[in-house]
Amino acid sequence: MQTAPPASLEARALVKRYGDVTAVDHLSFQVTAGIVTGFLGPNGAGKSTTLRMFLGLDRPTSGAATIGGHPLADLPQPMHVVGAMLAADTVHPRRSATDHLAAVARAGGVPRRRVAEVLELVGLADEGHRPAGDYSLGMKQRLGIATALIGDPGILIFDEPLNGLDPEGIRWARSLMRDLAAEGRTVLFSSHLMGEMELTADHLVVIHHGKLLADQPLSAFIADHTSEYVRARTPNRDGLDDALSREGLRAVPDLGCADALAVVGTTTDRVGHVANVSGIELSELTLVRDSLEDAFLTMTATEHEAAR
């Protein structure tokens, strides 16, 4: 029997306690190559703590966080295997971005020419000479991403990479993460905002109070946690209600919209057809879906209640 290659990143029964606080609570999940995995959880959920344990910056209380099956400390050339951006302000403020990257490259055995390459890649080619302390928040984020990429690693870990970026920067960071994954790399990035995940991640690992809430493809998360219905506005609500129920469709008044019905378990095409053959005028026919942000908030609130 062939054994599967080890997952790029794996948390196994991972626990981290700080005194009385359990930041990470028996967390197990795997992250695979070739897709973007979103690590989602509200503030204080334990995301940064987990990422720090992958990078050997925090010791697990118990359990393991491994890279390619090994703890980071066992990797001979870690900078070529994994690159990370944790906090954007770990650069000496008076050092230029170029000097900072050159020092990181030297320490990791990376050729000096990579400095110009990664500055170009993150859109800082013309700003490399400036002291990093003078950078805006978004520029610091870009420098952090450049630092993560310097060793051309196959695994990338980004903690809240979209924080502080302007709309153009967010679009850029998203497509960078997607491109890195499309090259076959492993990309794990955290956020406390579901909306940020929606356009970027293929797979979601959701945690709350250090515990795993979901580990599934984004599409499955959407199917499992959001509901949708057809909104039909009409001057003849009772008539439409009768026509729908004759077809075995269940409609209820659409809250917040006096002349509308909400019809579940069907399509706009079907409701439109029923209205048409019954000679009922429609002034709106829309498929309404809860936002993913709502789904995420409901999910974490439910878990919170259950924990009490």
Ligand X SMILES: Nc1ncnc2c1ncn2[C@@H]1O[C@H](COP(=O)(O)OP(=O)(O)OP(=O)(O)O)[C@@H](O)[C@H]1O
Contact stretch for Mg ion (CB under 5 A) within 47-55, 132-140, 208-216, 264-272: 47-55
Strand, coil or helix: what is 268? helix
User: Residue 173 or residue 249: which is nearer to Mg ion going by CB?
Assistant: 173
DSSP 8-state assignment for residue 96: B
Q: Applying CB under 6 A, does 85 fall inside the site for ligand X? A: no
Cβ-based nearer residue to ligand X, 22 or 32: 22
Between 44 and 123, CB nearer to ligand X = 44
Q: Which does 18 bind (CB under 5 to 8 A by kind): Mg ion, ligand X, none?
A: ligand X
Choosing among ligand X, Mg ion, none, which partner's interface includes residue 192 (Cβ < 5 to 8 Å by kind)? ligand X
Q: Which of 11, 78, 79, 71 is nearest to 47 (CA)?
A: 11
Sole window of 17-25, 74-82, 111-119, 261-269 interacting with ligand X (rule: CB under 6 A): 17-25
Region binding ligand X by CB under 6 A among candidate stretches 38-46, 68-76, 245-253, 280-288: 38-46
Instruction: Look at residue 93 and give the partner it binds from ligand X, Mg ion, none, a contact being a CB closer than 5 to 8 Å depending on partner kind.
Output: none
Q: Mind giving me the DSSP string for 28-85?
A: EEEE-TTSEEEEE--TTSSHHHHHHHHTTSS--SEEEEEETTB-GGG-SSHHHHEEEE
Minimum gap (Å) between residue 19 Cβ and ligand X: 7
Query: Given the rule CB under 6 A, which of 39-47, 108-116, 128-136, 141-149 is the region that contacts ligand X?
Result: 39-47
Q: How far is the CB of 46 from Mg ion (least distance, A)?
A: 8
Q: Which is nearer to ligand X, 24 or 82 (CB)?
A: 24
CB 238 within 8 Å of CB 251: no
Number of residues in contact with ligand X, rule: CB under 6 A?
Answer: 12
Q: Give the separation between CA 178 and CA 174, rounded to whole angstroms.
A: 6
Structure token digits, residue 87: 């906090």
The residues near 24 (Cβ < 8 Å, ≥ 6 apart) are: 14, 15, 16, 46, 49, 50, 53, 60, 210
Size of the site for Mg ion (CB under 5 A): 2
Which distant-in-sequence residues (6+ apart) come within 8 Å of 115 by Cβ?
A: 98, 101, 102, 105, 128, 150
Q: Which CB atom, from 142 or from 208, has the smaller least distance to ligand X?
A: 208
- The reply on whether position 192 binds ligand X by CB under 6 A is yes
74 sits near ligand X (criterion: CB under 6 A): no
41 binds ligand X (CB under 6 A): yes
Partner in contact with 141, chosen from ligand X, Mg ion, none, beta carbon below 5 to 8 Å by kind: none
> Could you give the C-alpha distances from 281 to 39, 241, 267, in angstroms and in order?
46, 13, 17
Exactly one of 49, 141, 200, 266 binds ligand X (CB under 6 A); which one?
Answer: 49
**Residue 88 to residue 224: CA distance in whole angstroms:** 35
Residue 269: other Cβ atoms inside 10 A: 10
- Please list the alpha-helical segments (H only) found in the chain: 47-54, 78-81, 97-108, 114-121, 137-149, 167-182, 194-198, 218-225, 237-246, 268-277, 292-307
Report the alpha-carbon distance of residue 261 to residue 283 in Å, rounded: 12
- Smallest distance from ligand X to CB 207, Å: 7
In this chain, which of 5, 6, 13, 21 binds ligand X, going by CB under 6 A? 21
Contacting residue, 48, 147, 186, 300, with Mg ion by CB under 5 A = 48
For position 46 contacting ligand X by CB under 6 A, the verdict is yes
What is the binding site for ligand X (CB under 6 A)? 18, 21, 23, 41, 43-49, 192
